[in-house]
Amino acid sequence: MPLVAHNELPSFERLRTEGVNILPTERAVQQDIRELHIGLCNMMPDAALEATERQFFRLIGESNPIAQFYVHPFTFPELPRGPAAQEHIARYYEPFEKVREEGLDALIVSGANVTHANLAQEPFWQPLMAMIGWALESVTSTLCSCLTTHAVLQCCYGQQRTQMQRKRWGVYSHHVVEDRHPLVKGVNTRFDVPHSRWNDVSRSQFETAHARILAESNEAGVHLAVSKDGLRLVFFQGHPEYDTISLLKEYKRDTSLYAQQLIPHYPPLPECYFGLQERSILEEYCARLESALEKQETLPVFPEQLVSRRLDNTWHDSAEAIVGNWMGCIYQVTHADRRRPFMDHVNPEDPLDLGTLPCTSADTKRLS
C-alpha cells in the first residue's frame, strides 16, 4: 500500500517518478484504511541526507501490509549541517518533540558519520541515547541501521565495536540462521546485502547481548539480529536500503579524496560488486589518475556513467521482503490486546507468535 505524501518533501515526487505508489493526503483521508506512522531519524551527513530518505521511504512504500504509511523524518540539531541541509530540514522535517508527543508505530534510525573511536564522544550520542530510551518505552519496534546498531549495543549492552584492519565494503552473501522468525518468512535462505564499514560487532558480542541472530555472512559477519524479545529492537549491520549505485558513489568519493591527497592510499574496489568489464574500466581509470597526479596533468573524469549502467542489484528484493515482514509484524502487534505489558509473557527462546503479542500503550495516540 502507498506512502502518504503528508508534506511537500521532494523525495515523494522523486519516488513517484520511479513508480512508487504515493498517495496525496486528500485521497488518503477518504479511504477507510489503517494508518501506520513510521519515524525516520536521519543522521546521515548532508551529501547523503536526501538519498537516505528515498532509500528507506522506498522500502517502506514497497512493503506488503494493507496500510497507509506516514513517514515522519527528523534529525538532531546537534549534528553539524551546511546551509542547504539546514534549509531542507527546517522546511520538510519534524521536530523530535512533535514526533515524540504524537507517537509512532515504528522507528528507523539511520547510520551517521563518525570522527571518534568511542561513539560516546560523538555529538549525536546524548540525543540518540535519549531517543532510544524513549523508543524502548513507547515504540513497538525500532530498526537500527549499521552505526546505530553499534551505538545501541554499546550503550544498552556494554558491547563496544572493534575497528577492523581494512574496510569491509562490497556485496556479500548471507544465509538465514533462524528461519522460523517472522522477519525472514518467505526470504531466500541465501541473499545478498551491501556493507560499508570500518568497524564490527561480532557474533559473540550479539550473543552476549542475548540477541537472536537471524542472518549472517561468512565474509561480512552478522547482518540481521533482533533483541531477546524478538521485535523491540531490529539490528542491521549491512545496508540493504542502498541503491544500485550507492557503493559506486562511495568509491567515486574516495577516489576524489585520494586525488585531493586527503587520504593516503587509493581505495580498493568494493568486493563482489563490479563485473570483470567494470573492474577493467576502473583499473584503467586508476592508472590514468596516478599518471596524471605524477605528471601534474589534468585529472581524468571518473567513468561513473559508463560503469553505473552495467551494475546489478542483487539485494533489493530480499530487503523489501524483510522490511515488509517487519511492517507486517508491527501491523499485527499494534492491533493486539492493549491491556497486557508489552511482550512480558513471551518466552524469548520460542518462535515469535504474533497472535499473542500486545502493542505498547503509547501507540494509542496515533490510533485513537
Point out the residues that are catalytic: 146, 239, 241
How many Å apart are CA 197 and CA 222, to the nearest integer?
13
Question: Which of 113, 38, 44, 36 has its CA nearest to residue 67?
Answer: 36
How far the first Cα of the chain sits from its last, in Å, is: 21
Look-up of cell digits 534549509: 87
Angle between the N-to-C axes of helices 10-17 and 49-61, in degrees from 0 to 180, rounded to the nearest 10: 60
Do residues 67 and 329 touch, judged by C-beta distance below 8 A? no
Q: What is the DSSP string of 173-191?
A: EEEES-TTSGGGTT--SEE
Helices of type H across the chain:
10-17, 25-28, 49-61, 83-92, 96-102, 125-138, 147-157, 203-208, 246-259, 276-295, 304-308, 316-333, 364-367
- For residue 240, how far is the Cα from the chain centroid? 7
Angle, in degrees to the nearest 10, between helices 125-138 and 147-157? 80
Whole-angstrom CA distances from 151 to 78, 143, 145, 146 are: 16, 13, 10, 9
